[in-house]
Structure 1
Amino acid sequence: MLILLDTCRVDALREVAPEYEFIPSVESILSTGGASAEWLARTFDEQHRDEIADTAFLSAQNHVQQILDTNLPERDSDKPLPFKALRFMPSVDLEDVGKVEYIFRYEPVGEEGPYGHPEGSTPPRYVTDRGIQVGRREEYDRLILQYHQPHTPWFSTALEEDRDLKYHERDWWNYYMETGDVDTIWDAYMSDLRYVLDDIELLLRNIDAETVAISSDHGEAFGEYGILGHTLGSLHPKVRKVPWVETTATDEGSYEPSIDEPSSERVPREKLDEQLKALGYR
């Protein structure tokens, strides 16, 4: 099982590692991309078609359909050149993946479900629940779970305090440009990292996997070398170097998930565009 934490930095995971028994040590590897879409295009490639055919990929990131679904109508006029180039990479088609679930459909941005915040993104519990169910009920050689956290918007503290998101939690780029306050930004980012790791702790006690890797599709730059965030093709060390943790999981049967599989219908392009815009990708 591979667990992906979107935008997770090596130093961030090392900072919280002593708080979690399932993180014995944090190594690092180089990601195949500087952003989620690039990671997808380079990871789900023709070279690994056989392995991909027996892989279940459950993602809270909506790039999976945008990159791998060749039946999705293209509208390249509003895409940057590097993004257009991803469509020409030798990636497999969506139909070649053993199983794909759009976890982000459980709680679209702007809707408040049982676990989330109306200004937040897909909460980790949806990914955890579906990961446990697929792990218990279905037979795949590999299971990839892609959580959205600790990617912005950072909503875990606002959820706990039952309030709206603050400026730095929903729009940290502009907050940073106006204030230069990295400490407040880092605290919010780390809060969401702990938020998702708490759920992963639950996951690892309720699924059987002899080998578990915890990593990220890419990291995040918080002003180092004058760079903010992450971009396609980025070679920034805080973006391309990602954590790598090896652990294991044993199903103790202590938790029964309640989230069922969403509709398998493809998400309309308009809905994808709305989510990308809400999450700051457009």
Structure 2
Amino acid sequence: MTFKSTFRDRLHEWLLRVNRLYHKQFYTIDSNPDGIDIFEEDWDSLVLLDACRYDALADQDELPGDLESRVSKGSQTYEFLRANFTDRDLLDTVYVTATPQYHRFEDELNATFHDVINIWSDDSNVWYNKGRQVVRPETTTEHALQAAEQYPNKRLLVHYIQPHTPFLDRPTEELRTDSNIYRQFISGELSVDASTLREAYRRNVDITLPHVADLVEGLDGRTVVSADHGELLGERLFPVPVSCWGHPHGTYVDELVRVPWLVHEQGERRDVTTGSSKTSDEEVETDVVKERLESLGYTD
């Protein structure tokens, strides 16, 4: 990394911190106080698309149901998990997840699910391409449908990693160079234009939605498709008008915390019951967790 790119990166992060201070100046908790508690909402199955903007679903025609919106408690996944999961008794819920973020902070979050299915931890479920490791959306759908059949009397929480990077269909070879694409773009190391990155994000949405539709159509009851947070695609923040990409924490702008809430109902509602925890202390090698996180752009 050159001195010039390092300076740009650090200046950008400093300006983001100024904006975060503005957004959090009146808050006494480290999350968005206007956000919903997802477990207090009415659903049998809640499908989370990681980093999915509200407008990414506004014009789509893949998913059945009626689109509303909600406000998230977090502008990034850890913040969302901490605000919704911490110290919760969730023994009526099975969590099927393609992201390692819950596992990464599991001890701190101290949530108790009936079962947690970490799809990402099994190498056979992971797509390897140019050094990136990610669970493809069709794999998440397959495991979610299996969980729905295995646990017919539990709420089902399904967490896809898409449309979060890495991009499944990269429009230029240069987007293959690094897992933290947005940071490279901001620093000037990545010489693609903004429209290329926006198109790559939209393609991730387009690739994912047919597989989400397969899941929604395969589930009975009240199914909601939502997101843990949105994504910035070059919008200027406030009060410091810096252009931003990705999903910095503590930044409660509309593009990050207004999330889709698409409701589809079919068949009978689930007769949800609680139960004991079936989760085990799953041992995942530290290197595996690190590699999966780096593939999502978490390199710090």
Structure 2-normalised TM-score? 0.69
2:99 and 2:120 in contact (8 A); partners too: yes
CA gap of 1:271–1:236, structure 2 versus 1, over 3 A, is same
Provide the C-alpha distance between the structure 2 equivalents of 1:144 and 1:181, rounded to a whole number of angstroms. 36
| Pairwise CA distance, 1:169 | 8.7
Which residue of 2 is the match for residue 97 of structure 1? 113
Which residue of 2 is the match for residue 268 of structure 1? 285
Deviations 1:231-271 (A, max 9, x none): 222223211221111113569xxxxxxxxxxx972323332
Matched, 1:57 2:67: no
Provide the C-alpha distance between the structure 2 equivalents of 1:193 and 1:168, rounded to a whole number of angstroms. 20
SS in structure 1 at match of 2:248: coil
1:110 and 1:118 in contact (8 A); partners too: no
Unaligned runs of 5+ in 2: 1-44, 237-242, 269-279
Which residue of 2 is the match for residue 174 of structure 1? 184
Which residue of 2 is the match for residue 183 of structure 1? 195
Which residue of 2 is the match for residue 204 of structure 1? 216
2:46 and 2:223 in contact (8 A); partners too: yes
Deviations 1:28-59 (A, max 9, x none): 2111111111111111133x52xx11100010
Structure 1-normalised TM-score? 0.73
| Pairwise CA distance, 1:10 | 0.8
CA gap of 1:170–1:44, structure 2 versus 1, over 3 A, is closer
Query: In terms of Rg, which structure is larger?
Result: 2
Matched, 1:195 2:201: no
AA of the residue aligned to 1:40: L
Provide the C-alpha distance between the structure 1 equivalents of 2:192 and 2:174, rounded to a whole number of angstroms. 22
1:31 and 1:39 in contact (8 A); partners too: yes
Q: Aligned pair count? A: 236
Provide the C-alpha distance between the structure 2 equivalents of 1:271 and 1:166, rounded to a whole number of angstroms. 21
**More deviation, 242-251/270-279:** 242-251
CA gap of 1:20–1:58, structure 2 versus 1, over 3 A, is same
AA of the residue aligned to 1:101: I
2:133 and 2:291 in contact (8 A); partners too: no
AA of the residue aligned to 1:98: H
Partner of residue 81 from structure 2, selected from 15, 32, 40: 40
Which residue of 1 is the match for residue 142 of structure 2? 129
Unaligned runs of 5+ in 1: 71-86, 252-262
* Segments ≥4 residues shifted beyond 6 Å: none
The structure carrying a bigger strand percent of its residues is 2
Identity of aligned residues (%): 26
Which residue of 1 is the match for residue 11 of structure 2? none
| Pairwise CA distance, 1:184 | 1.5
CA gap of 1:21–1:121, structure 2 versus 1, over 3 A, is closer
